[in-house]
Structure 1
C-alpha cells in the first residue's frame, strides 16, 4: 500500500485490503477505535472492518474512506435533528456532486454559514480587561495599584466592547480551517468555505480540543446562526489532527471520524424528548443527570448502570430504555441486550423497558419479550426504526414510540 493509495471501506463491513505491513495495521488501529483487522480471503490481504465509524482518515501510507450504510442525506438529517430539532425543516440542502460524507458535511456547513453571513456578521458585547492610555469603563483597582507601583502610565480598565471576536465566530473560523485542511473537500465546497473565511479574518484563531468544544448560549441576536454554529461544533468534536510544528503553528489533518452509534443514540434521545415535550432535565441519558451515578444494580452500589434513555420526574424514574445501533436477528434476541435491560429494570425498580434498533432488510416487526422472575413479569419492548425511509416517516415512528413511553410512565405514576 503506497502513500497515494485510497481505500474505500464500508461501515460495519469487511473490505479486502492488500499489502498491509505490521506498522500500517498498527497505525490503522490507533486512528480508528474498535476497528477489526483479520487475515483476508485473498493471499496477502487483510479484511478491514471499521465497525460503526464513518468518515475518512489520512495515514502515513495512504487514506481510508469509510462510507455509511445509510444514504448521506439521511445521515445529515440524523445529525441535523439531533442538535437542532426546532429548525431541521428550514433548510433543504442541495448535496454536492462529488461523493463523500465529509464533503457533504462541508458543503452543508458552508452554504448555511454563507446564507447567514449575507445578513451581517454575528457581533456581541465582549468583556475586556486591558491597560489603556485613558480611562475606559471601570478601573480595576488592584491592577491599577500594581501599575502605579511599577510607574506604568496605563490605566487598568474593564469595559464591554461590541465586537465580532466572540466565541461563536471563533468556533466557525476553526471549523472552516479544519475542513479546508481536509483532502475530502472538493473545489466547489472549498470555494464556499474560502469566502466565509474572508468574512472572519479579524476573528481570533482559537484551537479547541476535540474532547472539549464549548457550548453556546443562544440569544435572540445569535439564534439565526444556531444551525451553522452547531455544525461547527460537530465538525470540531469529530476531527483529528497533529501539530507538526508548534512554533510555526502548522497543523496536519488526520481526518474526521463519526461514530454512528453515537449519532443514532443522540437522534433517538432528542426525537423522543421532543415528542414527549420534556426538558433535558427530565429526559436524557444516565450520564446527563447529576444523579445519574446514583443508579446501581446492587445494594452495595458497586455496579453502576448507565442506560441511554431515562425519564425522571420529581426524583422518581418513570421510564428506562436503551439504543442499539446494530442488526437484530430475525428469530431471536441478542442475549447480552436482554441481560443488560433486565439489569436496568432491576436497578430502576421498573417492570417495563424498551430496546430500540435500526431496521434492516431482514428485520422482523416490533415485538415484546416477557420474562417472569420470582412471580414478577418483566416486559422488554423491542422496537425498530427504518432509517432509510423519509424523515417524516422516521419522526412519525418516534411519535408512536413516545406514545408508548408515555403510557408506561402513566402506569408507573399510578402504582
Structure 2
C-alpha cells in the first residue's frame, strides 16, 4: 500500500514538492478543485513533468487526500481549526463544542478541520439521541390493501380503474422521518467513510446506523434541508448539530457522496471568506450597539451607472456592510476580505470596487469614503489610499485595517468580552472616519 505524503500549508501559500504520478481519480479531483467558469479555485494542484506537484492554496481550508498525497490547508490567519468553529459559534449564536468530553484533546492549532467538525457532530448527535429524537406528522402517499386516511380518487381512477385490491391512500404518519433527523443522517453517512481516525469512524458509523433506523435522507444537498427547517422551541436544540452537519455536507460537496468506492481520494474544504464575513458582520454589529452608528449588511444599491441618453441603469452594487451615521445620514461602505493585506497592496480589482462604492454612496465631495476589514495575525492599520485628482474634483478615500482574529475570538470567550468589542469599535472608527462611537 502506497504511503501518503503529507503537505501542510496556510491560506494563499504555494508549495512545490516531489510526488508520485497521479491516478485518474487524482486528476478528476484536481479538476474539480480548480477554477472553472465563474467559479474560483478552491485549491490548484498540478503535477509537473519533473516529478513534482505544484500546490497553490486560496481562501479555502481543509483536507484533500489524493492516492499518494495528503494536502492540509490550515487556517493560520485565524489561529487554527478550533478558532474556525469558535467563529461559527459566535456568528450563529450557538455552542458547537459544549458537549465534547472535558478530557477531549482540542489543540488550538489542530490541522484536521474535518475531523474536528465530525467529532463535534458525533457528540451533538449523541446528546440528541439521549434526550430523544423528535417526531412529527408527515403527509404520506401509499398503496395499501385497506383504506387509511383518505382515498386519492384521481390516482385510484388513473392507476387502478375497476380494481379494489389496492387503494391509493394519503394519510399522516407520525414518526422520525423528518428533515431535522434526515439532515443528521445524511451528514453522518457521508462522513463515516471519510474520517481517518479509526475510533471516530466507528462512532460515526454507529450513529449513522441508529439514524438510518429512524429516517431516510432524500438528498445530500444541505440547501434542501435548510429551506425546510425552521427553528422554534420544539427543535431549537438541533441547531448546533445542524450547523455542523451543513458544514460537513458543504465541505464534502466535491465528492461523489453516493459512492463508497472513492479509494481514499476525497476532499473536505470550507470557504473562509464566507465564515469570516458572517463572523465580522455580527462582530461589528455588536461593537456598534449603543452608538449613533447603524449597520446594514448585504444591501443592494441600484442605478449606480446610468445611460444618460436612455435613462437605463446598468449596475447594482452590494457592499458587505454599510455603516450609517444616524445623526448626519452619512454612509460608508465597508468590504470584508479574507485576504493577505498585511504586506501587500490592495489588488487592482479591489481598488476599483471600493472606489466605486465610495463614489456611489458618498453624498458630497468630502464624504466619499470606503473601508476594508481583513483578517490578520495582529491588529494593523492600512493600507490607506485616495484618488489624486487631476482637476479640482475632490477624490475618494479608502482605509483598511487588519483584525487580529485569534485575539478577538479569544477575547470574546473571555470575561468580559466588552474589551474585545471596544477594540473592534476603535478599529471601525479609524476605517470609516465617522464620529458617533464614543
Give TM-score scaled by structure 1 length.
0.77
Distance 1:283 1:377, change over 3 A: same
2:33 corresponds to: 32
Q: 1:37, 1:166 → 2: CA distance?
A: 40
Bigger Cα displacement from structure 2, 363-372 vs 385-394: 363-372
1:359 aligns with 2:376: yes
Deviations 1:151-181 (A, max 9, x none): 1344433332221111121111111111111
Distance 1:212 1:18, change over 3 A: farther
Q: 1:344, 1:218 → 2: CA distance?
A: 36
Asked whether the equivalents of residues 80 and 111 of structure 2 are also in contact (C-alpha less than 8 Å), the reply is no
Match of 2:232, SS state, is coil
Moved beyond 6 Å, runs of 4+: 22-25, 407-412
Distance 1:64 1:392, change over 3 A: closer
Aligned residues: 392
1:284 Cα deviation from its structure 2 partner: 3.1
Deviations 1:195-225 (A, max 9, x none): 4223212211433247766432112111001
Match of 2:124, SS state, is helix
2:274 corresponds to: 262
2:210 maps to which of 193, 199, 209: 199
Give TM-score scaled by structure 2 length.
0.74
Over the residues paired in the alignment, what is the CA RMSD in angstroms? 4.1
1:9 Cα deviation from its structure 2 partner: 2.6
Q: 1:409, 1:141 → 2: CA distance?
A: 69
2:321 corresponds to: 309
1:384 corresponds to: 402
Q: Mapping of 1:213-252 within 5 angstroms?
A: 214-215=226-227, 216-240=229-253, 242-243=255-256, 250=260, 252=262
1:360 Cα deviation from its structure 2 partner: 3.0
Distance 1:148 1:181, change over 3 A: closer
Unaligned runs of 5+ in 2: 35-40, 290-294
1:257 Cα deviation from its structure 2 partner: 1.1
1:52 maps to which of 50, 59, 72: 59
Match of 2:406, SS state, is coil
Deviations 1:248-286 (A, max 9, x none): x64536221112222212322343455567xxxx84325
Asked whether the equivalents of residues 125 and 160 of structure 1 are also in contact (C-alpha less than 8 Å), the reply is yes
Q: 1:325, 1:301 → 2: CA distance?
A: 31
Unaligned runs of 5+ in 1: 287-291
Match of 1:118, SS state, is helix
Asked whether the equivalents of residues 57 and 65 of structure 1 are also in contact (C-alpha less than 8 Å), the reply is yes
1:27 Cα deviation from its structure 2 partner: 4.9
Q: 2:184, 2:435 → 1: CA distance?
A: 46
1:78 corresponds to: 87
